[in-house]
Amino acid sequence: MRTSRWPWLLAGLLAGLAGLATSYLTSGLLNLRGNPVTQVAELVIKLTPGNVAESAIQAVGHKDKPLLVTGVLVVLLLCFAGIGLAARRATDWGIGLFIVLGVIGLVAQQSQFNPPVAGVLPILVGVLTWTVVLALLVAQLRPRPFLDVDNGRRFLLGAAAVGVGSAVVGGIGWRAGGRLRKVDAARRSLTLTGVTPPKVPAGTEVGLDGIEAWATPAGRFYRIDTSLSPPAIAPADWTVRIHGMVDHELTLTYDDLLRRKRTEAWVTLNCVSNTVGGNLISNGWWSGVRLQDLLDEAGVQAGADALKQTSDDGWTCGTPISAVTDGRDAMLAIALNGEPLPIEHGFPVRTVVPGLYGYVSACKWVRDIEVTTFDAFTAYWTERGWSAQGPVKLASRIDVPRNGHSVTAGKVRVGGMAWQQDIGIRAVEVQLDAGPWQPAHLGRTELDDAWVQWDATLDVPSGSHSLRVRATNKNGQVQTAVQAAPAPNGASGWHTISFQAG
């Protein structure tokens, strides 16, 4: 007589959760970045084709990482349950499948940038826990039929003990994994001299409710990157190496950077994945050290045209040297909006380059800057089909009214944003239905590296309407109407909405 399936499913699930708990605890005790689950999720990101990644970003935006981790956990739970059923036939089958999962975790761990030797320990501890707990639980299911009262009671007691133990171990792991919290505490305690609080320049805002704030709070700054577990780097542990085609290699510590002359600027950053009218764009007050000063000190050699930047988590991007040596405020940033960078936005140091999409410039947790040539390397996103260079395209957006909303007929005030960092905005025009293009009023336009608010008052009769917008930059170029998807170097086209008036 054989037992029913559910005890075996439960045995597999509990053994799997116990292994996850002990591996999580081990990661915390060793102060490692991430854990086997997030490492597998990051491996999925690395193996995902560029067009699939782009579709995911468009579909779920900043929720992509939580959804991916949730998906990995769901798949693991299904695997655990299946392993329990496999153990029903033979314990060795279940143990063998747990070892296969461990190998997958080991591959994911080794695929990390500069994986620490100690990083294999959470995998080994987890696999050992899986196999031992599974063997103990299934031993209670095999000697006699599960309908045997004493045998069933022993299994349930053992299952309860494993479940409670896993919860306790997981909680201890959370407390032990305090590196992120310690680094955040160190970040909060920093006093950065030469860093000033943000002051929104007079005239930048047009005063229309519904338009996104000209200055983006740090907590609302958009975030798109490939890191599921942001590197937790104490300022004392951070260095950056500037090398390659230079006369003098530089290695700078955080204190070295703080001793240097500071630059501060309002800079709008936007993701190449931003669709026409999208919100993957934010504006902040950045403080840091100019990259041009550092490159001048290193001495860039003839023929070099690119900076290969590498993050602490191994992400890379290629930045045109011309974009950091032409006088714009390209910097190694240490602060956003007058405060040390948030950890998820690159603390302790990241790169900010106005006028370029983030995938070719915005290297968070930057650790290495190699002066080189574009034909000597490929970077993370260029390996996935994106263009090697990504200057920001001229763009504009309607914030008021929202697409599909209703307004009162008559004089209707509309508004939104326009941008092309490093060049700046000269004019914005709007078109109601098939009517003539009408000029909009602009907020302050002197800050070429920041976006511009605009508004206009239109005569809108009752009925259904469409509204579109286009911008003109300071070089006289008019925004193109040609529709282009974000890949391979940024979206284009006029943002158009529909609304009702009555």
- Tens digit of pLDDT for each residue in 401-449? 999 999 999 999 999 999 999 999 999 999 999 999 999 999 999 999 9
Q: Which CATH number do you get for residue 410?
A: 2.60.40.650
Residue 326: how many CB atoms within 10 A of its CB? 12
d(CA 280, CA 2): 57
Residue 201 lies inside a defined structural domain of this protein: no
Q: 122, 156, 177: which is the final residue of a domain?
A: 177
186 versus 207: the higher-pLDDT residue is: 207
| Banded pLDDT at 227 (limits 50, 70, 90) | confident
Residue 390 lies inside a defined structural domain of this protein: no
Say what angle helices 64-89 and 5-29 make with each other, to 10 degrees: 130
Residue 365 lies inside a defined structural domain of this protein: yes
Q: 350, 384, 418: which is the final residue of a domain?
A: 384
* 417 and 375 assigned to the same domain: no
Q: What is the pLDDT of residue 268?
A: 98
User: Is beta strand 452-460 parallel, antiparallel or unpaired with respect to 441-442?
Assistant: antiparallel
Segment 334-340 shows an average pLDDT of 96
User: Is beta strand 366-372 parallel, antiparallel or unpaired with respect to 239-244?
Assistant: parallel
Lowest mean pLDDT among 61-70, 88-97, 103-112, 455-464: 61-70
| Banded pLDDT at 319 (limits 50, 70, 90) | very high
* 173 and 57 assigned to the same domain: yes
Q: What is the pLDDT of residue 188?
A: 84
Residue 358 lies inside a defined structural domain of this protein: yes
Q: What is the pLDDT of residue 500?
A: 96
| Banded pLDDT at 62 (limits 50, 70, 90) | low
Residue 183 lies inside a defined structural domain of this protein: no
pLDDT at 154 over 80: no
| Banded pLDDT at 397 (limits 50, 70, 90) | very high
Number of domains in the chain: 3
Q: What is the mean pLDDT of the chain?
A: 88
Q: What is the pLDDT of residue 147?
A: 47
Distances in Å between the Cα of 477 and the Cα atoms of 141, 420, 467 are: 75, 11, 21
Please check whether residue 363 is in contact with residue 317, taking contact to mean a CB–CB distance below 8 angstroms.
yes
Q: 336, 364, 384: which is the final residue of a domain?
A: 384
* 476 and 497 assigned to the same domain: yes
Before 320, cis peptide (omega within 30)?
Answer: no
- Tens digit of pLDDT for each residue in 233-249? 999 999 999 999 999 99
92: left (phi over 0), alpha (psi -120 to 50) or beta: alpha
pLDDT at 159 over 50: yes
Q: What is the pLDDT of residue 245?
A: 98
Q: What is the pLDDT of residue 173?
A: 61
Please check whether residue 374 is in contact with residue 308, taking contact to mean a CB–CB distance below 8 angstroms.
no
- Tens digit of pLDDT for each residue in 259-301? 999 999 999 999 999 999 999 999 999 999 999 999 999 999 9
d(CA 129, CA 106): 15
Q: Which residues of 100-110 are buried (b: 16+ CB within 10 A; e: fewer)?
A: ebbebbbebbe
* 432 and 364 assigned to the same domain: no
- Tens digit of pLDDT for each residue in 355-376? 999 999 999 999 999 999 999 9
* 442 and 478 assigned to the same domain: yes
Segment 167-182 shows an average pLDDT of 66
Range of the domain at 451: 395-501
* 171 and 23 assigned to the same domain: yes
What tokens does 292 get? 């041009």
- Tens digit of pLDDT for each residue in 40-58? 887 887 787 777 766 776 6
| Banded pLDDT at 158 (limits 50, 70, 90) | low
* 372 and 419 assigned to the same domain: no
pLDDT at 169 over 70: no
pLDDT at 28 over 50: yes
* 334 and 399 assigned to the same domain: no
3-state per-residue secondary structure call for 362-390: CCCCEEEEEEECHHHCCCCCHHHCCCCCC
Residue 197 lies inside a defined structural domain of this protein: no
pLDDT at 258 over 50: yes
* 481 and 426 assigned to the same domain: yes
Q: What is the pLDDT of residue 72?
A: 85
Q: What is the pLDDT of residue 31?
A: 65
Taking alpha carbons only, the member of 97, 87, 94 closest to residue 5 is 87
pLDDT at 170 over 70: no
Q: What is the pLDDT of residue 88?
A: 84
pLDDT at 1 over 50: no
What tokens does 502 get? 């009555």
The share of the chain scoring above pLDDT 70, in percent, equals 89
* 266 and 243 assigned to the same domain: yes
- Tens digit of pLDDT for each residue in 442-492? 999 999 999 999 999 999 999 999 999 999 999 999 999 999 999 999 999
Q: Which CATH number do you get for residue 289?
A: 3.90.420.10
* 42 and 158 assigned to the same domain: yes
Residue 195 lies inside a defined structural domain of this protein: no
Residue 113 lies inside a defined structural domain of this protein: yes
* 223 and 366 assigned to the same domain: yes
